[in-house]
């Protein structure tokens, strides 16, 4: 489950990076919202860490978060989720063009397990996934552990608010860039993780519950710990988090140079020696936690 969370966090949607060896666990680390000033910025911009999916009664949205979004001129996600062309590119990128069907990646016994799991846990027909890459199924199953009738997406909620307020919506990267990170995962690894998830799912996802608890506490170090304790995640951290963070900094700088931007990205991108907070500070900006 830990690796599944890391993948989802990486594609958006999903969820955790952190502080590395040079940082300590202080009150400065307990915030999902950060102000960005200095370096001759004309207006304050904001950095907010999201979690892709959460139950409505766990949805954390403080007055400071609300006010920061209201004061911003633009909202920036990892990708521009309001652009239909972007969503079409994502869909196209997840389609399997190799000539294989989804069932071709599994043994008959495995495929029966997958088919039943999709039906029982997601209330969906496996036929909907037949022309998609296995990693597309991975992202869907990762949200199945949200144990409530109507889970809420931070990205969707923020986007609706921005559209209602007439704010411009932009993105930090293209669908191709996000999909490239996903495609770096060997198919055999994806299949193994899918089967482990389905066979070992007893209906109570303690790891996900711990993750949500840490998120609600705005505890970035704990979020990091929950992910990095899994030795399977280690080799993927640079691809999903560090490399993308470094690429985003000049794009963030360009976007907030003359206007106020509310950056909403997976919480995992915020902390760490190569996290957005540290990289922005190294670039000369003043980045402070907000409550």
Q: What is the pLDDT of residues 62-103, one digit of tens each?
A: 999 999 999 999 999 999 988 999 889 988 999 999 999 999
Reported confidence tier of residue 1, pLDDT bands at 50, 70, 90? very low
Distance separating alpha carbons of residues 197 and 220, to the nearest angstrom: 25
Higher local confidence (pLDDT), 42 or 185: 42
Decide if pLDDT at 158 tops 70: yes
DSSP SS3 for 35? strand
pLDDT tens digits, residue range 208-234?
Answer: 788 889 999 999 888 877 766 654 444
DSSP SS3 for 115? helix
Residue positions counted in the chain: 291
User: Under 8 Å CB-to-CB from 269, ≥6 apart: which residues?
Assistant: 17, 49, 241, 244, 245, 248, 275, 276
Report yes or no: 191 and 106 within 8 Å, Cβ to Cβ: yes
Q: Distance from CA of residue 1 to its chain's centroid?
A: 15
Backbone angles phi, psi at 102, to 5 degrees: -55, -40
pLDDT reported for residue 91: 87
Structure tokens, 57: 């009664």
Reported confidence tier of residue 147, pLDDT bands at 50, 70, 90? confident
pLDDT reported for residue 202: 57
Higher local confidence (pLDDT), 197 or 161: 161
Structure tokens, 201: 């799912």
Backbone angles phi, psi at 265, to 5 degrees: -130, 165
Report yes or no: 4 and 211 within 8 Å, Cβ to Cβ: no
Q: Return the percentage of the chain with pLDDT > 90, whole number.
A: 47
pLDDT reported for residue 209: 82
DSSP SS3 for 92? helix
Closest CA to 221 of 287, 290, 272: 272
Distance separating alpha carbons of residues 158 and 167, to the nearest angstrom: 11
pLDDT tens digits, residue range 26-70?
Answer: 447 799 999 999 998 999 999 999 988 889 999 999 999 999 999
The pTM (predicted TM-score) of the whole model is: 0.84
Among the ranges given (40-49, 148-157, 276-285), the one the predictor scored with the smallest mean pLDDT: 148-157
Mean pLDDT score, 10-34: 52
């Amino acid at each position: 489950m830990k690796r599944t969370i890391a993948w989802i966090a990486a594609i958006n949607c999903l969820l955790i990076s952190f502080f590395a060896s040079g940082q300590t666990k202080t009150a400065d680390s307990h915030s999902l919202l950060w102000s960005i000033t200095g370096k001759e910025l004309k207006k304050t911009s904001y950095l907010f860490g999201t979690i892709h999916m959460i139950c409505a009664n766990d949805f954390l949205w403080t007055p400071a978060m609300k006010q920061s979004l209201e004061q911003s001129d633009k909202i920036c996600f990892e990708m521009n989720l309001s652009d239909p062309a972007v969503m079409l590119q994502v869909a196209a990128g997840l389609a399997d063009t190799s000539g294989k069907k989804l069932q071709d990646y599994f043994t008959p016994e495995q495929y029966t397990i997958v088919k039943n799991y999709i039906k029982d846990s997601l209330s969906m027909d496996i036929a909907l996934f037949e022309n998609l890459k296995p990693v597309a199924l991975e992202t869907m199953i990762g949200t199945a552990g949200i144990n409530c009738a109507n889970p809420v997406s931070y990205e969707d909620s923020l986007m609706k608010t921005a559209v209602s307020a007439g704010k411009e919506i932009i993105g930090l990267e293209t669908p191709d860039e996000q999909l490239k990170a996903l495609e770096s995962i060997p198919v055999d690894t994806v299949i193994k993780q899918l089967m482990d998830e389905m066979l070992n799912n007893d209906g109570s996802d303690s790891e996900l519950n711990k993750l949500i608890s840490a998120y609600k506490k705005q505890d970035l170090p704990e979020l990091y710990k929950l992910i990095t304790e899994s030795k399977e995640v280690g080799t993927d951290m640079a691809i999903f988090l560090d490399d993308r963070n470094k690429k985003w900094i000049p794009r963030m700088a360009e976007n907030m140079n003359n206007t106020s931007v509310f950056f909403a990205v997976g919480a995992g991108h915020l902390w760490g020696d190569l996290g957005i907070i540290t990289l922005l500070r190294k670039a000369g900006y003043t980045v402070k936690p907000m409550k």
